[in-house]
């Protein structure tokens, strides 16, 4: 009798704590595109989630270089624009009727991009049409930021497919260097601690600091592991190159 009650209590506690620790982008809460209209999903033509992105002009999407890269027999090739769609105004990607799906007219990938851990993980898509959604300006880092995405809520789950967000602390360059040997001070930033992080499928998506776009989700070792912050492309470093 006591054993059974205890088991019920444990189950209830697991449910309740699960909502705050294991659930999210990782560790976050549901979000709505109505609150952040500039956040977009990048999908294949058949609707599979590739990455996130952010509208920096009505027809320009900031994302990660690795999101537009395919590994093939001849090395790393750029995905062709015809294989990509940008979905805006759709909180739940399964809700096909919601928002706008735009074709991609052009892909610019940082010319120095070689592989994700080496940095320069930034790309800009030019859309075939201007989208009727608010855009976001680039900005600098601060003490913390909000990362948004449709990706996994834990290392081994399928992508959430409905938008989520989480606030992550931004670490100093020296802390990031200690935790991530590939870290490039000035060109990357790292963020997240204690169960709060981006995960697979969130790549290319926005890290927002004081309402401005400070970073793009780039890479991490697993997701939300205790001593492994997520690594982002530090956009302020690329302002000249990007022209934003």
Nearer to ligand ARG, 102 or 191 (CB): 191
Which of 59, 110, 197, 203 is the catalytic position?
Answer: 203
CB of 233 to ligand ARG, least distance (A): 11
Number of other residues whose CB lies within 10 A of the CB of residue 188: 24
**Residues in touch with ligand ARG (CB under 6 A):** 151, 197-203, 217, 219-220, 223, 230
Which of 23, 120, 121, 197 is the catalytic position?
Answer: 121
Which of 66, 120, 197, 218 is the catalytic position?
Answer: 66
CB of 65 to ligand ARG, least distance (A): 11
202 is catalytic: no
Q: Which residues contact 158 (CB under 8 A, 6 or more apart)?
A: 152
Using CA atoms, how far apart are residues 62 and 220, in angstroms rounded to an integer? 19
Nearest of 165, 193, 159 to residue 44 by alpha carbon: 159
- The CA–CA distances, whole Å, from 70 to 19, 75, 79, 98, 184 equal 35, 8, 6, 29, 24
CB of 152 to ligand ARG, least distance (A): 8
What residue is closest to ligand ARG based on CB? 220
66 is catalytic: yes
CB of 193 to ligand ARG, least distance (A): 12
Nearer to ligand ARG, 127 or 223 (CB): 223
Nearer to ligand ARG, 198 or 213 (CB): 198
CB of 130 to ligand ARG, least distance (A): 27
203 is catalytic: yes
Q: Return the half-sphere exposure (C-beta side, CA atoms, 13 A cut-off) of residue 201.
A: 24
Between β-strands 230-234 and 212-219, what pairing exists: parallel, antiparallel or unpaired? antiparallel
Nearer to ligand ARG, 53 or 230 (CB): 230
Total count of residues recorded for the chain: 244
- The CA–CA distances, whole Å, from 102 to 31, 38, 42, 98, 207 equal 22, 14, 10, 13, 23
| Alpha-helix residue ranges (DSSP H) falling in the chain | 2-21, 173-179, 239-242
Nearer to ligand ARG, 104 or 223 (CB): 223
Q: What sign does the CA torsion over 94, 100, 103, 109 have?
A: negative
Q: Which residues are catalytic?
A: 66, 121, 203
């Amino acid at each position: 009798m006591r054993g059974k009650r205890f088991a019920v209590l444990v189950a209830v506690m697991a449910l309740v704590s699960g909502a705050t620790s294991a659930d999210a982008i990782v560790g976050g809460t549901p979000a709505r595109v109505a609150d952040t209209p500039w956040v977009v999903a990048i999908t294949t033509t058949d609707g599979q989630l590739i990455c996130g992105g952010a509208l920096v002009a009505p027809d320009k999407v900031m994302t990660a270089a690795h999101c537009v890269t395919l590994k093939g027999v001849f090395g790393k090739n750029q995905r062709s624009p015809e294989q990509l769609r940008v979905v805006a105004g759709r909180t739940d990607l399964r809700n096909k009727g919601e928002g706008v799906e735009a074709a991609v007219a052009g892909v610019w990938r940082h010319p120095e991009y070689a592989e994700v851990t080496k940095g320069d993980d930034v790309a800009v898509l030019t859309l075939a049409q201007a989208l009727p959604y608010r855009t976001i300006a680039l900005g600098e880092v601060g003490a913390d930021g909000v990362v948004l995405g449709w990706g996994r809520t834990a290392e081994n789950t399928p992508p959430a497919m409905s938008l989520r967000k989480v606030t992550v602390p931004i670490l100093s360059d020296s802390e990031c260097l200690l935790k991530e040997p590939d870290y490039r001070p000035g060109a990357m930033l790292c963020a997240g601690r204690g169960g709060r992080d981006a995960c697979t499928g969130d790549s290319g998506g926005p890290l927002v600091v004081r309402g401005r776009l400070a970073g793009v989700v780039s890479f991490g070792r697993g997701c939300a592991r205790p001593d492994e912050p997520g690594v982002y492309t530090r956009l302020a470093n690329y302002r000249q190159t990007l022209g934003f």
